[in-house]
Amino acid sequence: MKVNLRLLTIGLLLSIFLSACSTVGDWFADESYEEPPEPLTEFTSEISPKILWDKSVGDGAGDKKVELSSWWQNNKIFAVDHEGEVTALNAETGREIWDADLDLNVVTGIGGGMNMVYVGSDKGVVVALNEADGKELWRTQLTSEVLAPVTSANDVVVSRTSDGRVSGISAQDGKVLWSYQRAVPLLSLRGAGRPVITGNEVIAGYDNGKLVALSLNDGKVLWENSIAIPRGRTELERLVDIDADPVVIDDTVYVVTYQGQLAAVDINSGRVLWSRDMSSQIGLDAAYHDAVYVTDDEGYVWAVQDGSGDALWRQTRLLRRQATAPAIAGNYIIVGDFEGYIHWIARDDGRFVSRQQVSDGPIYCKPLVINGVVYITAADGSITALRVPEN
């Protein structure tokens, strides 16, 4: 049998690129100069958000740069660390309710639904726990690494794995009901957006820039559309991954791609309502018929007019500070950064109105805003709850 050594060498190099989340960025790290992050600038604080409680749970992300996001459900906050330790807290007081050690290597946040919480592992294991006491209900083996938080509705648990597969699992016994798979490009960013369940549809983004709607019952494709089309001569130039979580409001899906587009999509047909050039693997939030807020890959925070895609403002002073996806909190936008600061930004014009350091470690996760309270999960395993100011 003849072996093409050139193709084999290319294949080995590509496998190295795909082996870890930082390989694309770090491939030439020893020979390149990386500009420093923007220093924090002084401004006059206009609000003083009150810290309600803070709690340390587990070891957080350890030395990994992964988003171990928390989950709010039935007035509880659920968190998981990189070794699979799950903690349930009272959302009002921060008091610990229970904890469970699953002994799993975890690279994504915790998910939930239907009075259960779910943890996925780097070996493709999904575990379902009773939200009331942490009792393990079932454990299912999937095909590859679970890269996005698992969620559920209508007796179906939905998981996204690194082989481009979205799987529907029975919430009753953990049996895999269906799976839908798309080929993963030769080169892609490490990560995947959380599939969103809305009604009887599952909305999922893929590494080839496509947004897909699947039937929650059987995984059949309802529609698909290319939000961004790969362009360029090299595999790096052709990266158009949808790694940020889609946001669904009423009948509109808001989605952003890497090196591609920010778009609003009709949930019934998959038709793009409007779009504009944007590159983000970080994330967004949206206020229906108002504005869409995006953190781009440079760390700029944008406000874009819903309906037209026109830029309303851009906050540039978080350049290279590894800002998180933005979260809407009343009249403000909140983002975290790599030094444990949270930045409160006015929605009307993008000015800073407050800054608080809530952790000694970096914040990778999008702030969670529920019932007028912001929950910040930091990489050191701390969770901080703050009251959103009314004015």
* pLDDT at residue number 31: 52
What's the whole-model pTM score?
0.90
- Domain membership flag for residue 38: no
- Domain membership flag for residue 387: no
- Domain membership flag for residue 1: no
Strand runs (DSSP E) across 26-141, as ranges?
A: 51-56, 71-73, 76-80, 85-90, 96-101, 111-113, 116-120, 125-130, 136-141
With a cut of 50, list the residues of the chain below it in pLDDT: 1-30
- Domain membership flag for residue 82: yes
Write the pLDDT tens digit of every residue in 137-155: 999 999 999 999 999 999 9
Q: Which residues span the domain enclosing 84?
A: 53-153
- Domain membership flag for residue 70: yes
Question: What strands lie across the sheet with 210-215, from one edge to the other?
Answer: 196-198, 201-205, 210-215, 221-226
Query: CB-based burial of residue 71 (10 Å sphere; 0-12 exposed, 13-18 middle, 19+ buried)?
Result: buried
| CB proximity list for 367: less than 8 A, separation 6 or greater | 324, 327, 329, 334, 335, 336, 342, 374, 375, 376
- Domain membership flag for residue 84: yes
* pLDDT at residue number 391: 73
* pLDDT at residue number 8: 36
Write the pLDDT tens digit of every residue in 261-297: 999 999 999 999 999 999 999 999 999 999 999 999 9
Query: CB-based burial of residue 83 (10 Å sphere; 0-12 exposed, 13-18 middle, 19+ buried)?
Result: middle
- Domain membership flag for residue 312: no
* pLDDT at residue number 42: 95
* pLDDT at residue number 233: 83
Residue at 76: amino acid letter: K
- Domain membership flag for residue 92: yes
| CB proximity list for 255: less than 8 A, separation 6 or greater | 205, 211, 227, 242, 244, 246, 247, 262, 263, 265
Total count of domains within the chain: 1
Q: Looking at residue 59, which CATH number applies to its domain?
A: 2.40.128.630
